[in-house]
């Protein structure tokens, strides 16, 4: 499970009561593997399961939690190759092209970064996961051909090493990590 919090959450901590702070500290690194994870968290904090669900919903509505989802370990599912594709997209087209890239099921990340000229001209990044390098290149070529992006400069950077993926640690309480 992955929890994406608002980048300013540490500045907004004063708007959170103690129960919300304990809740975030307990869920930021994943939900318990249990038939009733919210009930388990509720018992630890001293609330009801319904109160936990309501609090999470409120934190989402307020934008303090941006995303609540699952982290898939692609390698363990047979996706042996990862490639970051970096694109040199005209600035006025970045948003449009990113929105065309994002829906593809093999794309797991797509974001814009500032160019670092003259050393680095690329401003759009997307991650492709595939079963092999050939598979990754085929997926990329299908996407490029479908949108006629042959003239957009790009590089394909294959991963050489996997690192442990971890969420950021925004809050810690004694006994909650």
Question: pLDDT class for 92, splitting at 50, 70, 90?
Answer: very high
Residue 174 has pLDDT above 50, yes or no: no
113: Cβ–Cβ under 8 A, 6 or more apart, which residues? Answer: 122, 123, 124, 125
Taking only the tens place, the pLDDT of each residue in 6-49 is 555 555 555 789 999 999 989 887 888 889 999 999 999 999 99
pLDDT at 136: 96
Domain contains 145: yes
Residues 29 and 97 in one domain: no
pTM above 0.75, yes or no: no
For the chain, the domain total comes to 2
CA distance linking residue 13 with residue 21, whole number of Å = 8
Structure tokens at 153: 């400069």
Is the link from the previous residue into 118 a cis peptide, with omega within 30 of 0?
Answer: yes
Residues 30 and 97 in one domain: no
Last residue of a domain, one of 33, 62, 91: 62
Residues 52 and 98 in one domain: no
Domain contains 89: yes
For 69, how many CA atoms within 13 A lie in the half-sphere containing its CB? 8
For 16, how many CA atoms within 13 A lie in the half-sphere containing its CB? 25
Distance of CA 94 to the CA centre of its chain: 20
Structure tokens at 49: 């399961």
User: DSSP labels for 106-156?
Assistant: TEEEEEE---BTTTB---EEEEEEESSHHHHHHHHHHHHHHHT-TTS-EEE
CA distance linking residue 44 with residue 25, whole number of Å = 12
Domain contains 93: yes
Instruction: Find the CATH number of the domain harbouring 138.
Output: 3.30.70.3460
Residues 30 and 95 in one domain: no
pLDDT at 12: 54
Residues 134 and 99 in one domain: yes
Question: pLDDT class for 99, splitting at 50, 70, 90?
Answer: very high
Domain ranges, residue 22: 18-62
Taking alpha carbons only, the member of 143, 103, 106 closest to residue 128 is 106
Residues 100 and 128 in one domain: yes
pLDDT at 2: 47
Question: pLDDT class for 168, splitting at 50, 70, 90?
Answer: low
Residues 53 and 87 in one domain: no
Taking only the tens place, the pLDDT of each residue in 130-156 is 899 999 999 999 999 999 999 999 999
Residues 54 and 98 in one domain: no
């Amino acid at each position: 499970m992955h929890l994406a919090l608002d980048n300013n959450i540490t500045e907004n901590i004063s708007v959170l009561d103690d129960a919300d702070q304990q809740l975030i500290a307990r869920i930021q690194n994943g939900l318990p593997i249990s038939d009733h994870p919210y009930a388990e968290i509720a018992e630890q904090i001293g609330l009801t399961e319904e109160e936990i669900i309501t609090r999470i919903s409120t934190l989402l509505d307020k934008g303090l939690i941006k995303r609540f989802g699952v982290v898939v370990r692609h390698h363990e599912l047979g996706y042996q190759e990862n490639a970051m594709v970096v694109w040199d997209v005209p600035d006025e087209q970045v948003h449009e092209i990113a929105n065309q890239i994002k829906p593809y099921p093999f794309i797991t990340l797509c974001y814009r970064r500032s160019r670092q000229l003259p050393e680095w001209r690329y401003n759009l990044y997307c991650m492709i996961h595939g079963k092999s390098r050939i598979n990754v290149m085929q997926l990329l070529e299908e996407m490029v051909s479908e949108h006629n992006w042959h003239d957009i400069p790009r590089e394909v950077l294959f991963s050489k090493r996997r690192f442990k993926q971890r969420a950021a640690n925004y809050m810690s309480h004694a006994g909650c990590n």
